[in-house]
Chains A and B, each alone.
Chain A
């Protein structure tokens, strides 16, 4: 009898477990394998939460954080100037899934929702019913958005699918997951603002007890967990789980939104201490709107983040080897991207900041087309809103009229260096009002202009030439007044247009 390897065992277990606890996974797998038109290529989005392109060696970062993505890039289209539409999960994911900017979909707050008029206008609807549509929003924030589109998703795997400790309550109500998550996990049982005097403290105690008992073996900084929800997970369980389901896909659109490398940064032991090196990132001036973290804190957080990315990249490598052996790359578009980035500069750690510098907005986008063997590079600016029209086309559907993006170059679109694209941050204002306190960055040609409004004092602008100033060190507003004036006018016109419906 042949020996069963650990990974093979986990693959089998990973395949079986979701079907035991979430019977819809079995029905989806059955449908995917048995009833779909096998001639259609799969489209698999692997989205990593808070993965900045600026910390990936595949995009030129000095630390070797992503050798496996570098390997993947050799058979993929690499988009070098891809921007997130927003700087944290809720608006950024909403933009990707609706193909619209935050000022349109209005999920601009920390726990915001896509406006009702756009709920039926999403990427799953655009893909159409000829495809099996699956989503695994491992990040609960992404689930808050994805579950709004549940009517257009054949299989919505819960955030807890591969979790080691799971005390989420809303997901146990599959017919009303979105509101149940918001009511129970985001309010009544919310870890630190509980609205229940008896049950919530009791369940919290059980959760913390289970979390404390969880073996930390293999994770010196602790087992990865969801920062704001009661979920712990091991990277190997998540990736083994994916390795067990992805090879079986046929004519499927899969949106897989993984929580890592979002904080807390908890690398596996083989990468712990990997970057105790002499790398010294450029020290940038502290921004007035930053959290004013010290340079030592920034360096330490960056090191942990880089190690976590290397951990994830190792798992990605294993996953891609399995996909390669199973022939998945021959019949699938495999898209690797992120919802937003993460920053460790100018006094700011993480991403929920008014600052829209490149570490937060520059995200990876690598797309391997079916059977692709060589690398192609695209340098024109692209944006997360472009994924929806691109995928609509790839799946044989018309480009929906509601989207604000265009098909990506090399996949039905053309390289347009003069097109304007945007990233938006407006978490402090109401979804139902104008963006009175906001940061907007606009990309056009080699330039990026950043507009700060409502933060106190006069509105301010910064202008950078990303071609000659990759690190955004030199504000060109005083030295290129003509360009600054033109871009300011365009940005302000757009800003005024999007605010108009909300002005009283």
Chain B
């Protein structure tokens, strides 16, 4: 079996990764800007920059973890199942999975008990998501739209990659020296 032949191209990866970046970085950025008014009460701009850097590194780690899921599926499943429609299925998979993650995250707050049931249902939800991925990918309009949308979202990589690179340098320097 030649696994490497089912490894997506850089262009395909970038399209799926850009969707992950928009959701993962976007979610954190919104929370960050909520927090800024309180941070400026006791932190200098440099300290706020460091906090942002740590957040971006966490975002980098989780975005890589998330994008690895479609890559793994593409490599281990027969080419017809996933690799042949990597962008469509990859975008569908990460969008639906992140949607569920966001739903869980929105239920973690002081007003409600910790949402254990949402975690218990996660394996079943994942199977459901996979089924949806395979079904929706057959709809030509959906496939076309997702390919187009993910291509448009690639522009966010132009912002996120340099920002994350700076954050990585900041965090590494602070922890090495």
Contacts and interface: CB of A to CB of B under 8 A. Distances in A.
Interface in B109-150: 109-110, 114, 116, 119
Nearest to A176: B174
B35 A430 contact: no
Interface string B28-62: 10011011000011111001001101110011011
Contacts of B54: 179-180, 183-184, 187-188
Contact of A430 (B42, B61, B105, B176): B42
Contacts of B101: 197-198, 201
A431 B42 CA distance: 5
A113 interface: yes
B10 interface: no
Interface centre among B47, B61, B108 (most CB of A within 10 A): B108
A197 B27 contact: yes
Interface string B91-117: 000000010011011001110001010
Contact of B55 (A112, A187, A430, A432): A187
B1 interface: no
A108 B43 CA distance: 12
A492 interface: no
A175 B175 CA distance: 5
Given A111-B42, A182-B51, A188-B58, A201 B175 contact: no
B98 A198 contact: yes
A197 B42 contact: no
A475 interface: no
A198 B62 contact: yes
A199 interface: yes
Nearest to B98: A197
Contacts, number: 110
Interface string A93-116: 000000000000011110111001
Interface residues of B, number: 41
B66 interface: yes
Contact of B41 (A175, A188, A192, A430): A430
B87 interface: no
B118 to A, nearest CB: 9
Interface in A162-181: 173, 175-176, 179-180
Contact of B174 (A111, A175, A196, A431): A175
B23 interface: yes
A193 interface: yes
A204 B119 CA distance: 11
B169 to A, nearest CB: 13
B43 to A, nearest CB: 7
Contact of B119 (A182, A205, A431): A205
Contacts of B53: 183
Given A199-B61, A204-B108, A431-B42, A183 B51 contact: yes
Contacts of A411: none
Contacts of A198: 24, 62, 65-66, 98, 101
Nearest to A206: B119
Nearest to A177: B175
B175 A196 contact: no
Interface in A288-345: none
A194 B119 contact: no
B95 to A, nearest CB: 12
B55 A197 contact: no
A188 B59 CA distance: 10
Given A188-B28, A195-B31, 5 more contacts: A193-B109, A194-B108, A198-B66, A199-B62, A200-B105
Interface of A: 106-109, 111-113, 116, 173, 175-176, 179-180, 182-184, 187-188, 191-201, 204-205, 208, 429-432
Report the 4 A-B pairs with minimum CB-CB distance, sorted nearest first.
A183-B54, A195-B31, A112-B42, A197-B27
27 contacts: A109-B41, A109-B42, A111-B42, A175-B175, A179-B51, A179-B174, A182-B51, A183-B55, A187-B35, A192-B110, A193-B34, A193-B35, A195-B27, A196-B24, A197-B27, A197-B62, A197-B98, A197-B101, A199-B62, A199-B65, A200-B105, A204-B108, A204-B114, A205-B114, A205-B119, A208-B116, A431-B41
